[in-house]
Amino acid sequence: MNLSCSEFKPGRFFLGSFPFGKDLITSVEDFCKKASIRMAVFSVIGSVSSVTVGCYDQKQQVHVISREKAPFEIISCTGNVSIKKGNPFVHAHIVLSDEKDKIIGGHLFSETIIFAGEINLQELKGKPIERAYDYKTGLMLWNLF
């Protein structure tokens, strides 16, 4: 089996600034709903006052969550927007660092509270991809196969 791909045309391109004290994922999903964005890719840099990340346990098929109520730099955050149950849904992974050279990362969850952050988001036009349950992995994957 091969990489299964769907082609899109570039839509609008946005640079944006996150509001202080708001949740990262919620901010992006709310913006997409208001701007009628169905599909997109994006990248974020900035810093947070608290963060929630997960690592997927591939055997037990559950996310192991860890939450840090402390300041961190977002040193990488890349993700996409596609459709889950009819609404724009963010899937993003994140890497963070702190003053003591601690590095953490994983699948991005709420709550992750922005201190300051900049996003670049490329809207994609074309047939939206829906997420569907995948029995092999236990994840909500893109329904492309």
Decide if residue 139 touches its own copies (CB under 8 A). Answer: yes
Q: Which one, 34 or 85, has the nearer CB to its own copies?
A: 34
Residue with tokens 């991809």: 129
Q: Is the dihedral of CA 39, 42, 46, 48 positive or negative?
A: positive
Decide if residue 82 touches its own copies (CB under 8 A). Answer: yes
- 4-23 residues in contact with its own copies (CB under 8 A) are 4-10, 12-20, 22
Decide if residue 101 touches its own copies (CB under 8 A). Answer: yes
Binding map of its own copies across residues 50-79, x = CB under 8 A, - = no contact: ---x-xxxx-----x-x----x-xxxx-xx
36: region left, alpha or beta (phi > 0 left; psi from -120 to 50 alpha): left
